[in-house]
Structure formats: C-alpha cells, structure tokens
Amino acid sequence: MSKKQQGTNDYGLSSERKGKQLSRRELLKLAGVGGIGLMLGGTGVGSILSVTGGKSQSSSAANGGSAKESIVPFYGSHQAGIATPAQNFLCFGSFDLTASSLSEVRKLFQAWTKAAAAMTSGQMIGEINDYPNMPPSDTGEAAGLSPSRMTITFGAGPSLFDSRFGLAGKRPAAFPDLPVFRADDIQPQWSGGDLCVQVCADDLQVAFHALRNMARIARGTAVLRWTQDGFQRSGQADTSGGTPRNLMGFKDGTGNPDTTDAAKMNETVWIQPGTGASWMEGGSYMVVRRIRMRIEIWDRSTLQDQEVTFGRYRTTGAPLGGQDEFDPLDLEKCDASGNLVIPETAHSRLAHMNGKVQILRRAFSYSSGIDAKTGQIDAGLFFICFQQDLRKQFMPMQHKLAAADKLNEYIVHVGSATFACFPGAREGGYIGETLF
C-alpha cells in the first residue's frame, strides 16, 4: 500500500498506524513489568517505573552531532548541577511526600533516576510513545531538542527525617534547621519541602519538560509544594562567559571557589569521609533563598550609593579601590579622609568573612510579574548555595549579613529551604541509594 493510499489523520498518523493495537505479547510485557494499572492509565510510581529506561529519541542526528556535545553525564561520584558551570535557565521544584512507606520513596528515586539519566542524555522517557490508544510515557515537548547541558539534582529536606519513614536517626548534625534571621519575611508558599529537584539547562523548554515529568512520575507518591523558574544572561548574549549580573546590575558570584580545583571543592563543598553521616559522603548541603529585590527603590539610588552598598564597582565588578574583578578585597584601605574604602556595611566585606568561610553560590534571577497587592515588580534573586556544613558556613555568614548589610535596605528574604543533596549514583544504581 502506498503512503497516498494509507492516508493520514489530523495527528499525522497514517490510517494503518492509527489503528495499531498492542499485541498480546506487548501487552503481557508491559503488564508484567509495570502492573495492569499502567494499561488502565495509572500514573503512580509503580507504573511509571517500568517505562523510564526506554529507547533513545536523541536529537543528535537532527543536530549533526551537537546533542552529544551538550550532554552533561548524569552518573558519577557527585551529582551534576552543583559544581557544573551554571546553565542559562533553572526550573526548581520542592515536593511533599504523600507516601506512607520508605519502600515507596525508594521506588520514586529509582524511577526519577532512570528518567533523569534518559532526559539528560537526550532521550525520551519510556517505551510507550508510539501507541495511539495509550497515554505517552513522555510528555513530548522536548522531542527533537538538544539536551542543552541539562542537569538534574536531587535533595532531601529536613522534614524527610521526621517519624514517617524511620530516618530520624540518619539526619546529619551538619544539616540543622535554619533559624529565622533578622529582617526575614519568610512565606510558606516559597519555603520547605521533603524533597527537591533542581533542573538547569541552556533551554527553558528542556528544563521545564524535565521538572514536569518528574512531577508526573511522582503522582501518588509526592506532590509539588512550590516551584521557581530562574534565568541568567545566556551564552549567546555573553560569549566571554563572564560572571553573570543580578537584576541590580552587579556581578554575582565573583568570590566563588574554583570549581575546577578538586582540593578546594573537597574543602568547601563535598562531604568528606569521617566528617558526618556516611550516606552523605560525596554529597553537599544546599540552601535556597528567594530574595525579593525592591527594584523601584534601587532604581532611584545613585550609582555611588549602589557601589558603596555592594563594595564593588558596577562596571568592572572590581572591589572599591581595586582595578580587576578578581582583585582581593583590601579591607584595611582608607581614603584621604581616613574612611574605609570598602565600608563596614558593604555586602562584599561582610560576605567575605575575612576569607575564612566560603560557600559555592549558584544563583539565578527570577521575575514573577507584578505583585497584585502593591503593583510593584516581583523580581529578585533565587539564591542557591552549596557547602559541607550549614552550621559553619551559611548560617554564620547569613547572621552577619542580616545584622549589618546595607543591601538589606533593598532586599527581603521571602522564601527559604534546605536540602541534603545526595552523592552521585553509579550506573545501574540510583540517587539516594546510600540513604534508602
């Protein structure tokens, strides 16, 4: 039969394809690995788990091999998305578990791992994407797209270690609840969560597709608590790959440790053997803070006031009194009048912590339209950082910033959450295997 004789329907399926039914062998295969609930449209973890290792739908052919170049390996000793160079876009999701047993949580992470490995390598999820009488196992909006250096990073919140799953005794001492810092205005709709999924990619549709499918896989086991999209300047807009600027116009992340320095990362970010909970060795503790900027007030400030607030020049990112962005902060230097060149209340001075404390910042800007109550722009910084010990790194730094930072005149912290980001997984294993 010719293509013309076969004809096509409104969905681009041939008449022959439209009428295709699952064979008895295919039916039994799917039912055997996933349960008959899958055939009836079930969307819980048990059904999705069976279809997350499907055939490749990589876009590499369509992109002349470019897809391979845009793949960040999913498996490894550490999770990708922590020390990985920051991508252009972020889709972050915090989840609350509805499961009643640890085995359900384990199955969720096994399913999430398989799906994440497939998507980050440019594959579609599952094997049920071609049957007209079945819900597809992949939502399809990333079909044919490059993986776009996508990374998917998973973490567990403090609430996972309550009495529900028998994990209370495994909560690390380096992972305490954060206190309420001075001037915080933390709102529950942007805070907390049992689990987190951080998706970063150079394409927003690719990132959205991943988080959407993680939420889809979790149905029956976990529900989204809150989400946040983020962005920074793209590689096309800044081909030099310089430090990105926040929405206040200043470079953000200049003081980060060198992620290519393994010794520095082992000292600052990665949990080391013998320093705490063994299941976290190779992992890192994440803090996320949704920081709203008072854009309208900032925009009325003079450039000099803005630079004094940060302790850096806006154009170059250099510390006041310096020439280059990466010049060390001279905290003792005074001007002709005897005043400190970098004021005591400058953000860069306080965050420097005398060079004794570092964290790995991985922040993205956000814009969420207009605040319906005030008519002001709801925009700011979705701050993400990683470290070995919240007690020794983020908490003392934030206490110092909250008490004296001049930047507090222009910002307010409205969301807060912490997560223990697991070590990486070996191929054939799954994220969270060391805990579950």
Q: What is the pLDDT of residues 351-389, one digit of tens each?
A: 999 888 999 999 999 999 999 989 999 999 999 999 999
What is residue 30's predicted lDDT score, i.e. its pLDDT?
A: 45
Q: Are 402 and 51 in contact (CB under 8 A)?
A: no
**Helical residues (DSSP H) of 313-354, grouped into ranges:** 347-352
The pLDDT-based confidence of 43 (bands split at 50, 70, 90) is: very low
Residue 176, C-beta contacts closer than 8 angstroms, at least 6 positions apart: 158, 390, 391
Range with the poorest average pLDDT among 19-28, 132-141, 351-360: 19-28
Q: Is the pLDDT of residue 314 over 80?
A: yes
Q: In one letter, which amino acid is 401?
A: L
Burial (Cβ within 10 Å: 0-12, 13-18, ≥19) of residue 287: buried
Q: Is the pLDDT of residue 29 over 60?
A: no
What is residue 276's predicted lDDT score, i.e. its pLDDT?
A: 81
214-253: pLDDT as tens digits = 999 999 999 999 999 999 998 889 888 899 999 999 999 9
User: How far apart (Å, rounded) are the C-alpha atoms in residues 429 and 413?
Assistant: 38
What is residue 58's predicted lDDT score, i.e. its pLDDT?
A: 38
What is residue 69's predicted lDDT score, i.e. its pLDDT?
A: 74
Give SS3 for 206: helix
pTM: 0.86
Range with the poorest average pLDDT among 10-19, 157-166, 208-217, 234-243: 10-19
Q: Is the pLDDT of residue 313 over 70?
A: yes
What is residue 9's predicted lDDT score, i.e. its pLDDT?
A: 38
164-199: pLDDT as tens digits = 999 999 999 999 999 999 989 999 999 999 999 999
pLDDT (average), residues 14-22: 44
Q: Is the pLDDT of residue 286 over 70?
A: yes
For residue 249, how many C-alpha atoms fall within 13 Å in the half-sphere facing its CB?
14
Q: Write the DSSP string, 74-143.
A: S-SSS-TTSSSPP-SEEEEEEEEE--SSHHHHHHHHHHHHHHHHHHHTTPPSSS-SS-TTS--SS--TTT
pLDDT (average), residues 252-271: 96
What is residue 67's predicted lDDT score, i.e. its pLDDT?
A: 55
Range with the poorest average pLDDT among 43-57, 98-112, 142-156, 376-390: 43-57
Taking CA atoms, 428 is separated from 46, 229, 399, in Å, by: 18, 31, 42
Q: In one letter, which amino acid is 390?
A: L
82-100: pLDDT as tens digits = 999 999 999 999 999 999 9
Q: In one letter, which amino acid is 37?
A: G
Q: What is the mean pLDDT of the chain?
A: 88
